[in-house]
Amino acid sequence: MVEETKQRKQFKHPINPWKWAFLILIAILLGIGIWGGTKIFVPVNTVTEQKKVQKTEDVSFEVSTHKKEVNEIVAHGIDRFIKKGDIQYQLVFNEQAEVIGTFKLFNHDVHFYLYLDPFVMENGNVQLKATNLSIGKLNLPIGYVMNLISKQYNLPKWVQIDSKKQLIVLNLDEYKLENGLKIKAKKFDLKNDDIRFSVYLPLEELVKK
């Protein structure tokens, strides 16, 4: 019996904290879904007084991140979006936001760096205001280059370029992930490397699961 007990201890798997954390998260989400289901299917008392139906709020939480993580996510998203044959470009967040790429001018490839300052709008979208343009020995207006970018680049529908105002707007309210997640920017402080988002998951999505 002693030897059998020792063998069982030897074959005992180490506890994986990430596995338990994931299981706890799933349990919480299932609990929220069950709670939401009971709230939705409670019968309304129509005999006494008809009460106004309150709109169910989305489940939300805040995510705090840094430029390194954001750059990795953005790079991965651009790589998946750009098709073969499209003009390659990058969006990088350093001290400023930088759009790095090339555009066609008189059948020549022109390399450029466009520097922008990010601002969080009241609706949670992000506005990038162009401040400077590095384009080698050429002297071209920022608005002119941004107009070429908008015409030559394959951009997501939720990215809007206003060459007259020299703005690039990331309409996050139009961007929705497959699982129903929506995001809103709360803070975009590149100098202090403090970037925060509010993440929303509609309660109806949890109830479906």
pLDDT in tens, 108-121: 889 999 999 999 99
* 12: three-class secondary structure by DSSP: coil
pLDDT for the residue numbered 208:
55
Q: What residues are paired with 160 via a beta bridge?
A: 169
pTM over 0.75: no
pLDDT for the residue numbered 50:
42
pLDDT for the residue numbered 3:
52
- Edge-first strand listing for the sheet containing 89-93: 89-93, 97-105, 108-120, 126-134, 167-170, 159-162
Percent of the chain with pLDDT over 90: 41
Contact predicate 143/192, CB 8 Å? no
**Is 196 exposed, middle or buried (CB count within 10 Å of its CB: 0-12, 13-18, 19+)?**
middle
Average of per-residue pLDDT across 128-134: 95
